[in-house]
Amino acid sequence: QVEKRLELVKQVSHSTHKKLTACLQGQQGVDADKRSKKLPLTTLAQCLMEGSAVLGDDSLLGKMLRLCGEAEDKLAQELIHFELQVERDVIEPLFVLAEVEIPNIQKQRKHLAKLVLDMDSSRTRWQQSVKSSGLASNLQPSGAKADALREEMEEAANRVEICRDQLSADMYNFVAKEVDYANYFQTLIEVQAEYHRKSLALLQNVLPQIKAQQEAWMEKPSFGKPLEEHLAVSGREIAFPVEACVTMLLECGMQEEGLFRVAPSASKLKKLKAALDCCVVDVQEYSADPHAIAGALKSYLRELPEPLMTFELYEEWIQASNIPEQEKRLQALWNACEKLPKANYNNIRYVIKFLAKLTEYQDMNKMTPSNVAIVLGPNLLWPQAEGNMTEMMTTVSLQIVGIIEPLIQHADWFFPGDIEFNVTGNYGSPMHVNHNANYSSMPSPDMDHADRRQHDQARRPLSVATDNMMLEFYKKDGMGVRVMDTSWVARRGTSAARKASSAPPSAQPPAPPAELPPTPHSPIPEQSPEISAAPSPPPTSFGFPPGTER
């Protein structure tokens, strides 16, 4: 039984030794220094460290490369130690078992077989000598020759006995040492476990450092990221894209006709969004294209994982908008506002206050609270499980407009108190920092006709692309305007009357603004004699002088 197992154990040991040797990444049989140079992990660590030196520690990528390079180098050292231990405690003993110990026993077995043949040969010769002597079978052979043959036979038998004893001892030793042979594999698992424990400890030690570097790095993308995460990383109360876009629009876009409705250049919008993601904005570059700024603000609000007015309160907003009585409806909307998380409340307050300020210039920008709610409402609130797009654009959007419009109309009641739009003071022109206290870059909605005309002529010229786009817009029979509420001239009256009608009450929800009978008319100046004869001048935000030259 032992002899049968010998060959099987030899085959298994030889195969295991061969495969285990192939698992070694370093060169077998050399010292640690030479092994380290040929190790793939060492090469990777050197590459990372060289990359870190090229990029420098002042960049996040350079810091990451340095930390990872140091970690990979430590892992390489642990791997070298592990392979040396496996080689010493497992691979070499398996080699001795398969190539030395078992072959020695097998050689001993072959030697025994040879001795047995020699003994049989000696016995045969002695027996033939006895027969040839002619003596009786019961008599011993005599003579020197017979004595020599007998001694040879006895000596051969003695050698067989000694060899058989030695072989038996080696086989018994082999059986007894099977526990030691099995221990080689236990040692392999223990060494591997220790190696992985040390490697894991190294990785767990460096991982917090890597995360700390990531979290400490301020230049993180903001588009498509949760609002709370962006505010926590940047240490802000108002999201960076929101503040940057709003303050730039306060500088250059409040009189822009169709703001938030006219689509910007796709390339400009893409560039501005990428710049906002890097927290770098060139105010002068985008001052000539307010539609790109407005488009970036809409994109940021729409790309939030959760709308600014939250999924959790979506049903409450919708139910509030369905209340027929205005006072109860406004009170329900106010209650929903108060339930918003702090971060969402601060940002929706900021946006609504800005939109309310934008509607103060509706004489020029044609953006009434209703129109603003139509184009921006779906970017502030949408259902969590969006179904059919057509259905959403009809029923849901109408309900959302019914939520956003009163928020804009009664912004000072929903969000009492003044607001400083340029919180950080980094995005406006040097001349106008506090837009809330002294907004001198735009004409007042109550400005005299002659003063406003002079101010309009002094404004910056629009880009050619914007001029052509807006002129084309008017040539196409008012396409895109008909869906908007353009009866604000007759319905709202002067700016002063609008302000008086929307003054916030002290305790109760505001009463609906007094409305005059609407007299619909075309928004196109050339087709509206009534408007051209009115005291208020036609919009001149196209950058062209009024009158026949237009």
| pLDDT the model gives residue 5 | 81
| pLDDT the model gives residue 390 | 57
| pLDDT the model gives residue 427 | 52
| pLDDT the model gives residue 345 | 93
Q: What class has domain 227-384+391-414?
A: mainly alpha
Closest CA to 382 of 296, 298, 317: 317
Q: What is the dotted CATH code of the domain comprising 1-134+142-216?
A: 1.20.1270.60
| pLDDT the model gives residue 360 | 92
Residue 74 C-alpha from the chain's centroid: 27
Distances (CA, A) of 540 to 22, 42, 140, 216, 471: 81, 69, 147, 48, 12
3-state secondary structure 502-513: CCCCCCCCCCCC
Angle at 18 between CA 14 and CA 21, to 5 degrees: 135
Residues of the chain with pLDDT under 70: 29-31, 134-143, 216-219, 386-396, 424-550
| pLDDT the model gives residue 465 | 36
Token pair 């998380």 in the structure block, residue: 341
Cβ–Cβ under 8 Å, residues 488 and 365: no
Distance CA 98, CA 104 (A): 10
Structure tokens at 144: 């020197």
Q: Tell me if 1-134+142-216 shares its fold with 227-384+391-414.
A: no
Residue ranges per structural domain of the chain: 1-134+142-216, 227-384+391-414
Residue 36 C-alpha from the chain's centroid: 35
pLDDT tens digits along 403-444: 999 999 998 988 988 888 877 655 543 333 333 333 333 444
| pLDDT the model gives residue 387 | 55
Q: Is 393 helix (H, G, I), strand (E, B) or coil?
A: helix
